[in-house]
């Protein structure tokens, strides 16, 4: 069984639960839900993007973080959302080779681009035409350009401790789930106090 398949199987339940949670938050069919989704994805990219950058450099892909930051800034500006500066930015090692956990982080973050194509189509179908989709457009383009290169490189990592990579991917899914819940609670609290 390949590394990608092991990662997929090892994180399947968390991934399915997260997809269900996002649908429950109205991420694709309400403006509030979509704004909360963007906030959540921004926090994920801020937290785990530096790990993806390490893996990207290691396998010869460009660091996608500049484009992601630009896309988030455009969406946030169009929606009137102030850009957050999360306090839990990671401390990233200067070591040139990614750790197994960073491979797992990169798998989950890079893999979100596959969902990006579906999410972009859904938002364009269910939301008003003027809802900005810079982040989702950038994410969806990553699926076509980056994902095959990433998977090919992942499968060549013969010394990778897959259980550690699975733990890294699980950490991303757990972070996103907890972040989405926190953002939803904050949003509900703000609405109730108005």
- Alpha-carbon separation of residue 134 from 67, 127, 152, 154, 170 (angstroms): 10, 14, 27, 28, 27
Residues 6 or more apart whose CB falls under 8 angstroms from that of 131 comprise 31, 34, 79, 123
Residue 73's φ and ψ, nearest 5 degrees, are: -60, -40
What local confidence, expressed as pLDDT, does residue 141 receive? 86
What local confidence, expressed as pLDDT, does residue 83 receive? 72
Structure tokens at 115: 């969902």
What local confidence, expressed as pLDDT, does residue 155 receive? 97
What local confidence, expressed as pLDDT, does residue 152 receive? 96
pTM for this predicted structure: 0.89
Q: What is the DSSP string of the chain?
A: --HHHHHHHHHHHHHHHHHHHHHHTTTTT-HHHHHHHHHHHHHHHHHHHHHHHHHHHHHTPPP-HHHHHHHHHHHHHHHTPPPP--S-PPP----SSPPHHHHHHHHHHHHHHHHHHHHHHHHHHHS-TTS--HHHHHHHHHHHHTHHHHHHHHHT-TT--HHHHHHHHHHHHHHHHHHHHHHHHHHHHHHHH-
Average pLDDT of adjacent 10-residue blocks, the chain of 194 residues? 95 92 83 92 94 94 91 95 64 72 96 88 91 94 87 94 97 95 75 52
What local confidence, expressed as pLDDT, does residue 58 receive? 94
What local confidence, expressed as pLDDT, does residue 148 receive? 93
What local confidence, expressed as pLDDT, does residue 14 receive? 94
Distance CA 15, CA 173 (A): 7
Q: Look-up: residue for tokens 């999410």?
A: 119
pLDDT tens figures, 38-71:
999 999 999 999 999 999 999 999 988 889 999 9
């Amino acid at each position: 069984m390949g590394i990608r398949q092991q990662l997929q199987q090892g994180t399947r339940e968390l991934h399915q639960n997260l997809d269900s949670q996002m649908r429950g938050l109205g991420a694709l069919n309400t403006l509030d839900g979509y704004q909360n989704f963007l906030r959540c994805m921004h926090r994920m990219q801020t937290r785990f993007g530096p790990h993806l950058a390490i893996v990207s450099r290691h396998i010869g892909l460009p660091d996608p973080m500049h484009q992601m930051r630009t896309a988030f800034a455009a969406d946030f500006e169009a929606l009137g959302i102030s850009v957050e500066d999360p306090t839990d930015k990671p401390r990233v090692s200067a070591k040139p080779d990614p750790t197994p956990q960073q491979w797992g982080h990169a798998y989950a973050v890079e893999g979100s681009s596959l969902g990006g194509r579906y999410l972009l189509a859904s938002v364009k179908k269910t939301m008003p035409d003027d809802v900005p989709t810079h982040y989702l457009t950038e994410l969806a383009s990553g699926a076509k350009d980056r994902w095959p290169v990433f998977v090919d490189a992942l499968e060549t990592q013969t010394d990778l401790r897959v259980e550690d990579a699975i733990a890294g991917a699980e950490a991303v899914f757990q972070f996103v789930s907890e972040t989405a819940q926190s953002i939803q609670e904050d949003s509900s609290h703000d609405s109730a106090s108005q």
